[in-house]
């Protein structure tokens, strides 16, 4: 049985911060693999600035080609939209009964976790790994026993800033994997 960490997101675009986060979770030994779950439609975000879902999926796959134990998951592409995390986790368990799953979320999402559909059931059935975000402060003493705080400095990179840099004609080669730089420059200019 593999223990899989699910890191969901729009990946609009995927960047080195996402990959560093996945590597940090793997280095802790909390999971055997991290699956980057590309979400075609996040129910809590606007669709206005999202690039085409197939392009985002393709970029994510290109970004992890040389990564060990980091894979891309497209299960939400076959689920009703918007796909809620609880439904996604149930679908993953049905499709991969030989694995167990943990959910990787940012501190900002943890602070809003009670807004998530079926959040009580998620906490009751899955471990969560919460990573720090600049706009969130979390004390490990306040976390339920199934929630773990990943205490690691993360790269200060955001997809929003990358899209802005591209529109301004600035270099993004330090922020995104080299395999996706040309695609990003074409999509987001």
Residues 41-94: tens digit of each pLDDT: 876 666 667 899 999 999 999 999 999 999 999 999 999 988 899 999 999 999
Residue 42: how many CB atoms within 10 A of its CB?
A: 18
Work out the angle at residue 42's Cα, subtended by the Cα atoms of residues 39 and 43, and round it to the nearest 5 degrees.
145
- Check residue 77 and give its pLDDT: 96
Distance CA 171, CA 158 (A): 14
Contact 15, 162 (CB under 8 A): yes
The full set of domains in the chain, from first to last, is 3-156 (3.40.50.620)
Contact 31, 170 (CB under 8 A): no
């Amino acid at each position: 049985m593999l223990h899989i960490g699910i890191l969901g997101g729009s990946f609009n675009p995927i960047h080195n911060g996402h990959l560093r986060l996945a590597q940090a979770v793997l280095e802790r030994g909390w999971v055997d693999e991290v699956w980057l779950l590309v979400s075609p439609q996040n129910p809590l975000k606007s669709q206005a600035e999202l690039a085409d879902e197939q392009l985002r999926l393709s970029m994510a796959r290109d970004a992890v080609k040389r990564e060990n134990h980091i894979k891309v998951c497209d299960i939400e592409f076959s689920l009703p939209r918007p796909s809620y995390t609880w439904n996604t986790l149930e679908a993953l368990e049905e499709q991969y009964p030989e694995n167990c799953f943990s959910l990787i979320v940012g501190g900002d999402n943890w602070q809003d976790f009670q807004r998530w559909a079926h959040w009580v059931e998620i906490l009751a059935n899955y471990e969560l790994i919460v990573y720090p975000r600049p706009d969130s402060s979390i004390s490990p003493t306040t976390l339920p026993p199934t929630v773990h705080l990943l205490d690691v400095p993360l790269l200060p990179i955001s997809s929003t800033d990358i899209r802005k840099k591209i529109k301004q004609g600035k270099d993004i080669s330090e922020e995104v994997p080299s395999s996706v730089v040309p695609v990003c420059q074409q999509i987001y200019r």
